[in-house]
Homo-oligomer: A and B are copies of this chain.
């Protein structure tokens, strides 16, 4: 901020003007320190992101041993299940591996990879969607193009039967889960991307096991309990999930 002194002003005003200039200088120091803090915090996040990698790797290998881990996890997650049509669920039975990769500087974006077994729906082995923060601070996204097998394009079946979880919701989503791979209209508010990165990826097992419901028995799979999970999205960062899980495990 450049504030030029105004020598023509009356004395009181001149003093005030000078005080404002000094405040501005002090503010610049505060801003500089805050930038340094952000950089240091980023380094901590990068360090722990790296330390977590072998565990994420190991976890993925173990998850691959459990048939239908990911489709179960998605169905158990209230926000994701709302996006799933019946045929989406069938296709997701072939999903064997999900990977979230934060780009090296974390700030600049992330990618989600979905690995599929050979399946009747599309040719791809991997479907990816990635989010990039550009210089102007906006997030943009791009995805693998899905090579649908003949007559199997789920994104062109808006009339496909919605599953029960989805019907219950107020906002029916007639579209397929897979439209997510073609929708780049509002990457900055990509709910599914954020849910997977910030809510499921930190601890997919809890959704697979559906062990968030403390009180609930039996069939009632995702009504109330999952609402609490929304809170995990919040700030403390990665730590938060850990803390909450401990509570639940007791």
Give chain B residues whose Cβ lies under 8 Å from the Cβ of A229.
31
Q: Are B247 and A243 in contact (CB under 8 A)?
A: no
Give chain B residues whose Cβ lies under 8 Å from the Cβ of A215.
none
- Give residues of chain A (108-148) contacting chain B, Cβ–Cβ below 8 Å: 137
Give chain B residues whose Cβ lies under 8 Å from the Cβ of A67.
16
Q: Are B3 and A232 in contact (CB under 8 A)?
A: no
**A56 in complex: contacting residue of B3, B24, B30, B45, CB < 8 Å:** B30
Q: How far is it, in angstroms, between the C-alpha of A36 and the C-alpha of B45 when the chains are bound?
A: 10
Q: How many copies of this chain sit in the oligomeric assembly?
A: 2
* Chain A residues near B (Cβ < 8 Å): 1-3, 15-16, 19-20, 22-24, 26-27, 29-42, 44-45, 47-48, 51-52, 55-56, 58-59, 62-63, 65-67, 107, 137, 202-203, 205, 208-209, 211, 221-222, 225-226, 229-250
Q: Are B23 and A62 in contact (CB under 8 A)?
A: yes
Q: How far is it, in angstroms, between the C-alpha of A237 and the C-alpha of B26 when the chains are bound?
A: 19
| Cβ distance A231 to chain B, nearest Cβ, rounded Å | 6
Give chain B residues whose Cβ lies under 8 Å from the Cβ of A35.
232, 239, 242-243
Q: Are A24 and B205 in contact (CB under 8 A)?
A: yes
Q: Are B235 and A247 in contact (CB under 8 A)?
A: yes
Q: Are B37 and A237 in contact (CB under 8 A)?
A: yes
Give chain B residues whose Cβ lies under 8 Å from the Cβ of A52.
30, 33-34
Q: Are A237 and B41 in contact (CB under 8 A)?
A: yes
Q: Are B65 and A16 in contact (CB under 8 A)?
A: yes
Q: Are A1 and B249 in contact (CB under 8 A)?
A: yes
Q: Are A34 and B239 in contact (CB under 8 A)?
A: yes
| Cβ distance A1 to chain B, nearest Cβ, rounded Å | 4
Q: Are A59 and B211 in contact (CB under 8 A)?
A: no
Q: Are A62 and B26 in contact (CB under 8 A)?
A: yes
Beyond A16-B65, A234-B246, A235-B243, list 15 extra A-B contacts (CB 8 Å). A1-B226, A3-B222, A19-B65, A20-B66, A20-B208, A23-B63, A26-B58, A33-B55, A34-B237, A34-B240, A35-B242, A35-B243, A37-B237, A44-B44, A235-B247
